Amino acid sequence: MTNTFAQIIVDVPAMQTNHPYTYLVPEHLKSVLAAGMRVEVPFGHRQVLGIIVGISAQLPKDVSASKLKAVTRALDLAPVLNTELLNLSRYLAETTFAFRISILKTILPNALKADYKHYIRLVDEVDNHIRTKIFKDLDEIPFNPQQFSDDELVILARLRRHNQIEMRIEVQDRAKIKTAVAYQFSEDAELLENSLSELKQNAKKQQQLLSFIMGHLGETWSKHDLQQKLVIGDSVLKQALNKEWLTKVQVEQLRDPLKAMTIDHVKALTLNAEQQMAYEKICHQFDQQRYQPFLLEGITGSGKTEVYLQVAQHVLKNNKTVLFLVPEIALTPQMVRRVKGRFGHQTAILHSGLTDGERYDEWRRIERGEATVVVGARSAVFAPLSNIGLIIVDEEHETTYKQNDNPRYHAREVALWRGRYHQIPVILGSATPALETRARAQRGVYELLRLTQRAGGAQLPHVEVIDMKETLASGEETNFSDVLREKLAQRLENNEQTVLMLNRRGFSSFVMCRDCGYVPRDPNCNLAMTLHMDSHSLKCHYCGHEESIPHTCPQCGSKRIRYYGTGTEKVEKELLDLFPQARVIRMDQDTTRKKGSMDRMLQQFGRHEADILLGTQMIAKGLDFPDVTLVGVLNADTALGLPDFHASERTFQLLTQVSGRAGRAQKQGEVVVQSFNPQHYAIQLAKNHDYPGFYQREMAVRHAGRYSPYYFIAQIQASHQDENQASIQLTKVAQWLKKHLQQQAVILGPTPKPIAKMRNRYYFQIILKYKDQQLVDNLLHVLQDNAQKVTKKGLQLSIDKEPISFM
Ligand code: ADP
Ligand code: ZN
């Protein structure tokens, strides 16, 4: 009898276990198990979840047959991960410095991750008292430490020491398929005919049901649909059951996250010349079955979405599927509506706002091929679509595409990987592409397609930059300049709408002079220094430079130098004091916490039931309201003060995005940007809608500062409960890196992180700037392997390549 072996990644995230283990496949599972399936396997003294990554008839050379354990049971009947996704997990584990199991679990929907249930079982005689009180006279009970008193836990621990009880761990499948009651109609026409002739004249409802059944022999109808259709009560159904006109069955029910959303069908528009050109170039690559990334650089409102949709249509017509990524889809219900309006029920939606159940159902619809267009946020990039013909990454510059904790994958990079795998076009779209992306297009790695005009003839709005230092010169503390007040009043008078944005990014983390706009910067890195209230100091988080907080401004001598900050609620109050008649919708984290509330507010605003939409950055993206003729940015500066070399880029992007909300239809739009640094190039170039100009200027800044895209950046972070240990260990790392890298990289730090202490751990970081990716990757892998050995002593180390946040 030949043996079969399975290579399995076990659910034990650690460096030592970060490779496949070989298990014996028991006889009865030989025809069942395949790569991509989940199983339960013994590991050490417990049972854990495992994912099969390979099946073989031969025992790998380095494994001894005698120690081999067997797979306990299968958790799936068919693979939940296909070959592509298994390959992808290996690639990502390698490039993001994450454990393979963490990647695999990220790819799978939550519902397919296992829960572990613990039980304790009596295996020896114990006191009757214990048996009754703790075990409720049972042999085995679930073990959940919270439900026992301290005394009881002491008793249990003693029983455990004396081997009187055993622990048993069960791997529990979380995947729950929702079912609903349904009725299957009889196919026995004769029985039904007879019933009909026997029915009493006044049994109208029964007659009605019976005729319906006779017209739909053998069909299955859900109880809900049947009752809606025929307006019949439970008693009628019960009688029908007794007479065997139908039988009760359970049917699988897919939870539809968009049930509450009304969707109108939307027709394709006639493309303008630039759109048509982009459309043809992308379709051509698709027809040739070639991998080709495109950068679709189009100003806001230039009709990028229309291009995506029409290329998608072409791809679907050729029986391929489409993956459409958008940033934080919950934030753009308008976009969902547009896609669903075009493609209807073949659209699946994946985003973090779904319940695990809804997500699992959408996932299954995709996996079975019922959904052929997937719209989703970051993790939707792992959608189990097969036969992909097109991948779209809308607003490709958005930082939400990068996962900020383990595994630190970037959805755009994953999209490109999948594009290459399937040999298809990938569209990266943006009005303000990430510098890295734009630089690649410059070098011809991506093909650049530009849309320079607003579609449908609308004009870009006129942008006015207001110097808030002048507004505050009078000493009045206000969030509204005279110009903005005036324009707001006009809008209210003309019954037009306004969008107001309060930028919360980088809030109150830095110091600024209210009289001259001066922000203290560190002399080495030229970055805004971060305020530390604990030590009452300013620190540079790249190089560690530290100064005390100034009491007077070194530039103008003013005493009004302080941290900057205000909240949306405060602004709303001031707004209502200024314009008591205005109808205001406030949209921020507080008011949008409830599911669907954001969509409701946006719809309300769309119906013009409010005059002003006041919100945080969340309102900057993707909104398309024709009546909005004024956009106000209350504070353009806050992001400039972030201790991050992306600060100018993020500010430029945000201002461009939010300005794009004005004047999208016939009415000309206006934008008012309030700033303490009105001359800053990010603000001035955004005012002129000049992305190419910004690109050039910022590339020069990056070149001088040796930042990306000229250099690769990696952040190495260490944390420890003991502040000294964290610092000492990371200093050793820095010395080791210096020894191996010598002149080939810039090593900054170690320094405490901007948020230096969290949950009783101290955080330090090193920043690496380098050119030789292979060399540094190798070193970082060695570092990661070695770090695992130190972990036992309490040090945690993590590696983040191309970090998007330095906080
Ligand atoms: P973007 O995604 O570049 O911001 P959209 O696709 O949202 O731009 O288009 C902006 C507006 O222009 C939308 O209202 C859209 O319906 C309209 N539009 C797009 N393409 C065309 C076209 N070819 N003709 C007329 N209107 C168009
Ligand atoms: Zn510095």
Tokens of 55: 């099946």
Residue 565 has pLDDT above 70, yes or no: no
- Residue 431 CA, closest ligand 1 atom number: 3
Does residue 494 sit in the same domain as residue 620?
yes
- Answer whether residue 264 is part of any domain: no
Q: For ligand 1, atom 26, name the residue with the nearest CA.
A: 456
**Domain CATH for 207:** 1.10.10
Does residue 157 sit in the same domain as residue 242?
no
Does residue 640 sit in the same domain as residue 608?
yes
283: annotated binding-site residue? no
pLDDT of residue 330: 46
Tokens of 593: 């916490």
Does residue 370 sit in the same domain as residue 447?
yes
Does residue 589 sit in the same domain as residue 687?
yes
For 327-380, write each residue's pLDDT tens digit.
Answer: 875 456 677 888 888 998 899 988 777 888 888 888 889 988 999 999 999 999
**Domain CATH for 599:** 3.40.50.300
Alpha helices of 638-722 — where are they, by DSSP H?
647-659, 681-687, 691-705
Does residue 235 sit in the same domain as residue 223?
yes
> How many angstroms does the Cα of residue 311 sit away from the middle of ligand 1?
15
In testing the pocket of ligand 1, which one of 305, 656, 657 has its CB within 8 Å of the most ligand atoms? 305
**Domain CATH for 50:** 3.40.1440.60
**Cβ of residue 622 lying under 6 Å from some atom of ligand 1:** no
What is the arrangement of strands in the sheet containing 546-548, beginning at the earlier edge strand? 530-532, 537-539, 546-548
- Answer whether residue 261 is part of any domain: no
Tokens of 610: 């409010």
- Structural domain boundaries, residue 593: 462-507+565-703
543: annotated binding-site residue? yes
- Answer whether residue 522 is part of any domain: no
**Domain CATH for 797:** 3.30.70.360
Cα dihedral 573, 578, 584, 589 sign: negative
> What does DSSP assign to residue 802?
S
Residues with CB under 5 A from ligand 2 (ion): 522, 524-525, 540, 542-543, 545
The total of other beta-carbon atoms located within 10 Å of residue 90's CB is: 15
| 277 Rama sector, left if φ>0, alpha if ψ -120 to 50, beta otherwise | alpha
DSSP string over 412-461: HHHHHHHHHHHT-EEEEEESS--HHHHHHHHTTSSEEEEE-S-GGGPPPP
540: annotated binding-site residue? yes
**Cβ of residue 298 lying under 6 Å from some atom of ligand 1:** yes
- Answer whether residue 35 is part of any domain: yes
Instruction: Kindly identify the ligand whose nearest atom is closest to the C-alpha of 621.
Output: 1
Contact 672, 464 (CB under 8 A): yes
Does residue 688 sit in the same domain as residue 728?
no
Residue 681 has pLDDT above 90, yes or no: yes
Does residue 43 sit in the same domain as residue 132?
no
Task: Select, from the ranges 328-337, 571-580, 750-759, the one with the highest average predicted confidence (pLDDT).
Answer: 571-580
- Answer whether residue 553 is part of any domain: no
Does residue 328 sit in the same domain as residue 199?
no
For 516-527, write each residue's pLDDT tens digit.
Answer: 878 888 777 777
Q: What is the β-pairing status of strands 425-430 and 292-298?
A: parallel
User: pTM (2 decimals)?
Assistant: 0.80
Does residue 119 sit in the same domain as residue 108?
no
Please give the radius of gyration of the chain, using alpha carbons only, rounded to the nearest integer: 31
Tokens of 408: 């630190």
Beta strands in 209-326 (DSSP E): 220-222, 246-252, 292-298, 321-325
The residue ranking higher by pLDDT, 632 or 354, is 632
- Answer whether residue 548 is part of any domain: no
Q: Into how many domains does the chain fold?
A: 6
For 180-194, write each residue's pLDDT tens digit.
Answer: 788 888 888 888 888
Residue 561 pLDDT class (50, 70, 90 cuts) = confident
Does residue 428 sit in the same domain as residue 445?
yes
Residue 118 has pLDDT above 80, yes or no: no
Among the candidates 252, 287, 311, a domain finishes at: 252
Does residue 590 sit in the same domain as residue 502?
yes
- Answer whether residue 387 is part of any domain: yes
Among the candidates 200, 217, 252, a domain finishes at: 252
The mean pLDDT of 410-437, rounded to a whole number, is: 97
- Answer whether residue 385 is part of any domain: yes
**Cβ of residue 301 lying under 6 Å from some atom of ligand 1:** yes
Q: For ligand 1, atom 19, name the residue with the nearest CA.
A: 303
Among the candidates 652, 671, 703, a domain finishes at: 703
